[in-house]
Amino acid sequence: MSQTAPVDLIVNKKAVPKEFNRIAARYDFATSMSQGYSIDLEASVQKLNLKGDEHVLDLCCGTGKSTLPLLKALPHGRITGLDNSEGMLEEARKKFKTEIECGKMDFVLRDAMNPEMEPESFDVVFAAYGLRNMPDYQTFLNNAFSLLKPGGKICIHDYSLADNAWSRPYWAVLGYGFIVPFCTAVTGSSKIFTYLVKSVLDFPGPKEIETLLSRAGFTQIQSHPHAGWRAPILHAIVAQKDN
Ligand SMILES: C[S@@+](CC[C@H](N)C(=O)[O-])C[C@H]1O[C@@H](n2cnc3c(N)ncnc32)[C@H](O)[C@@H]1O
C-alpha cells in the first residue's frame, strides 16, 4: 500500500479519509489516551442545548466517538453519522449495532464536500475535528447550512488556536513533543498525526471561523474555549440558521 507524506495530505486533503482507514482499529485507543477527549465532546454537545428529539447529523463522525455524547443527549432523537473513511465507519457500525437495528442511527459513506443529501434534512449539525480536514472550509460550511432546517444549529468542535501570540508555540511543542511520538507508538503510523499537528497550525482561529460561518449565512455565532490546558487550542463554535 502506498504511503502518503503528511505534507501531501495538507495539499491534498481528499486523501485524508484513506489515511484514517489505516488507523481506524486503533483510533479509539489513541484518543482515549488524550486527556479530556470525551469530556470535551460532551461539553460541546451541551452548548447546543438539545431538546432531545432532534435529528442530528454527525459530520465526519469517524468511529463514533463524537456520536456517543449525541446519543446520550437524544433520548427521543435520531443521528446520522457521515464519514468518507470506510474503516472508521466500520468501527462505528460495530459500536452502535443495536441503535442501527432499531432505526435510531445510520452511518453513511459520503464526502462532506459533496454530501448529496436532501437540503433542510437536519435539526442540528455537529462537526468534531471535521472542518480542519476539508480542502475548502467555506464549501463545507455552505453545505452544512443547506442541510439544516430553518432554526437549526451547528457546532464546530476543533483544534482552532486562540488568537494570541503563544497558542501556536504551545501547540507545536504539545504536537511534535507528545502527540506525534505517542500516537505513532500506539497506532504504528506517524503520517496522520504529523498531518494533525501541521493542519492545526494552518487552520483558522475562532474569529476567522466565525467569519466563515457568517458568510455561509449563520447568525448568533459564539466561540467557547474548552477547559484547562486545552483552552488555547480547542474551541466549540456554535451558530444558528435563522427561521
Ligand atoms: C479526527 S477524525 C474525527 C472523528 C470523530 N468526529 C471524533 O470526534 O473522534 C476526522 C474524520 O474526518 C473524516 N473525513 C476527512 N475528510 C472527510 C471528507 N471529505 N468527508 C467526510 N469525512 C471526512 C475522516 O475520515 C475522519 O474519520
SS3 sequence of 159-210 = CCCCCCCCHHHHHHHHHHHHHHHHHHHHHCCCHHHHHHHHHHHHCCCHHHHH
Confidence of residue 186 (pLDDT cuts 50, 70, 90): confident
> Exposed e or buried b for every residue in 201-236, given b needs 16+ CB within 10 A?
eebbbbeebbebbeebebeebebbebeeebebbbbb
Ligand 1 atom closest to Cα of 61? 6
Q: Is 130 in the pocket of ligand 1 (CB under 6 A)?
A: yes
Backbone φ and ψ for 241, nearest 5 degrees, come out as -100, 120
Amino acid at 213: L
What does the pLDDT look like over 35-93, one tens digit per residue?
Answer: 899 999 999 999 999 999 999 999 999 999 999 999 999 999 999 999 999 999 999 99
The residue extents of the domains of the chain are 6-240
Q: Is 133 in the pocket of ligand 1 (CB under 6 A)?
A: yes
CB atoms within 10 A of CB 75: 10
Backbone φ and ψ for 120, nearest 5 degrees, come out as 55, 45
Q: Is 112 in the pocket of ligand 1 (CB under 6 A)?
A: yes
Among 28, 61, 63, smallest CA distance to 187 is for 28
Q: Is 144 in the pocket of ligand 1 (CB under 6 A)?
A: no
Among 243, 242, 238, smallest CA distance to 48 is for 238
Q: Per DSSP, what are the bridge partners of residue 224?
A: 236
Mean pLDDT of the chain: 95
Ligand 1 atom closest to Cα of 127? 6
Q: Please tell me the pTM assigned to this model.
A: 0.96
Torsion of CA 84, 105, 210, 153, to 10 degrees: 150
The answer to whether 212 and 141 have CB atoms below 8 angstroms apart is: yes
Q: What is the mean pLDDT of residues 209-222?
A: 98
Q: Three-state DSSP class for 117? A: coil
Among 103, 67, 61, smallest CA distance to 84 is for 61
Q: What is the mean pLDDT of residues 108-128?
A: 98
What does the pLDDT look like over 139-171, one tens digit per residue?
Answer: 999 999 999 999 999 999 999 999 999 999 999
Under CATH, what is the fold of the domain 6-240?
A: Rossmann fold (3.40.50)
Among 137, 172, 162, smallest CA distance to 225 is for 162
Distance between CA atoms of residues 4 and 17, nearest Å:
12
Distance between CA atoms of residues 69 and 172, nearest Å:
29
Distance between CA atoms of residues 170 and 233, nearest Å:
8
